[in-house]
Chains A and B, each alone.
Chain A
Amino acid sequence: MHIQSVRRYLLQSNHNSHVKRIIVGLLVLAVFGFASKLIFAPATFGDLGHYRAKAILEEANLEPRLMTNESCLTCHQHEKRKHLKGTHKTVSCEFCHGAYFDHILDDKKIGTLDVKKGEEIRVLCLRCHNKEIQARPTDKIKTVALPQHLEEKRVRTTHTCDQCHYVHAPLEYVNLAKKMMRIKDEPEKEPCP
């Protein structure tokens, strides 16, 4: 009986009862919307600006995948002795070989990195040293044209670069050979900074 009377009261229609119901409905909607805006706003949003402040920390906490030459040369002592003395000392180990963390993870070796050989070496070397690409500043890098360079040095044109130039210290053995053979021409200059 009681419920019936409440229902009758709710459903009775004055000339403006529908307007009242609409206004109540809109207010409920607004309160609900405002509440969900507060509830669902992510934590730390707005602490530093209109963004999730924690996102800065999440970005900062990402793990690097590439390391530095020093990290590689900690183990690779032979390369360390050669690489740091030669003209390639500024070349990144990981550029030619791949990412550190594809090789070492938590002090354990997890994979073997690429060592370029043969024709791949030529492609890799020419990536920087190709004279045909004229956009390279000449004071920053020594460039050669192939096969003219090979012909000039009187070696077979099938030679790959690393047959004369040790990749980690490209001029070391060349200059040594010249010294031994008492070839008089100037020792090659180092263009790198």
Chain B
Amino acid sequence: MGENSQTLDKERRDFIKKVLKGTIGGSLLLVIPAGLRSGIEVPVQIPGIRDQEYDLNKKRFAFVVDITSCIGCGSCCVADKREYKVPDYHYRTWVERYLKDFDDKIYVDSPNGGLDGYQEPRKDLDKEIRDTFFVPKLCNMCNDPPCVQVCPVGATFRSPDGFVLVDEKHCVGCAYCIQACPYSVRFLNPVTHSADKCTWCYHRVRKGLLPACVNVCPTGARKFGDVNDKESEVSKILSGPGVFTVLRKAMGTSPSLHYMGARREVI
């Protein structure tokens, strides 16, 4: 097994080298990314990716957040911070707590982005609460992303498989994309001085792993998968009769992040 995987690794590395040296254009579509660090038992969480040729044009991923399942534990926020060592006071993902009183007034808070969990009820409100729920937030992976439109240098882009990514080596750090994002998921990373944001854990997905936040969610409030794979959970959910919404539809961004059970007050 060991020897076998070593030769596979070598072949894969040679292949990548060849592709990078030569004409990358068409062949980049089929590149297999570098494998996981050796010797780890890792289940295949997204089938059809690991150790296979990956066609950027054949994949279409979607993220579903089920608000009716979120318990506001903040596991996702902790996982995200650990996966990326996100600098303090900057958030790739966060969880908001909504409260609605009997006058339909909405009160929202998200202390430290939910990173420390919600240990206390809100003490500053003296209202009878009618409805209360948690809303996890992350990159909407728009099909028509305003951040990509405004980037002056092409440092943020939408890959053919639908991920809006940041080229950290090309970004000039002008923060225009941060202004343009209607969801405020972007920030200027104080360590790299480049724009940074949630990538739906692209590097994990390309290794057949679920995004870190989806992987740790104890109640399945965060779901992720390939829409083109008819067997995937996300594909089944999105084909079903459930009511789905996207955030800020009027912005015309066409997000690939869908919410289930989101009240109309959720922005």
Residues of the A chain whose Cβ atoms lie less than 8 Å from the Cβ of B73: 127-128
Interface of B is mostly: loop
Q: A2-10, A133-141, A159-167: which one contacts chain B?
A: A133-141
State whether B82 touches A66 (Cβ < 8 A).
yes
Would you call A71 an interface residue if the criterion is a C-beta within 8 Å of the partner chain's C-beta atoms? yes
Write the nearest CB–CB distance from B75 to chain A, whole angstroms. Answer: 5
Residues of the A chain whose Cβ atoms lie less than 8 Å from the Cβ of B40: 67, 71, 104
- Given known pairs A62-B203, A99-B83, A126-B119, the reply for A135 and B170 (CB within 8 Å) is no
State whether A57 touches B16 (Cβ < 8 A).
yes
- For chain B, residues 100 to 142, give those with C-beta under 8 angstroms from any C-beta of chain A: 117-121, 129, 132-134
State whether B216 touches A92 (Cβ < 8 A).
yes
Determine the distance from Cα of A63 to Cα of B36 in the docked complex, in whole angstroms.
Answer: 7
Of the candidates A70, A95, A107, which one forms a contact with B43 in the assembled complex, judged by CB atoms under 8 Å apart?
A: A70
* Interface size band for B: 35 or more
State whether A48 touches B25 (Cβ < 8 A).
yes
Would you call B232 an interface residue if the criterion is a C-beta within 8 Å of the partner chain's C-beta atoms? no
Q: Interface size on A (CB < 8 Å)?
A: 57
Write the nearest CB–CB distance from A55 to chain B, whole angstroms. Answer: 4
- Given known pairs A51-B155, A55-B170, the reply for A64 and B36 (CB within 8 Å) is yes
State whether A64 touches B83 (Cβ < 8 A).
yes
**Interface residues of B, Cβ cutoff 8 Å to A:** 16, 20, 24-25, 28, 31, 33-34, 36-43, 45, 56, 68-75, 78-79, 82-85, 97-99, 117-121, 129, 132-134, 154-160, 163, 165, 167-170, 199, 201-204, 206-207, 209, 212, 215-220
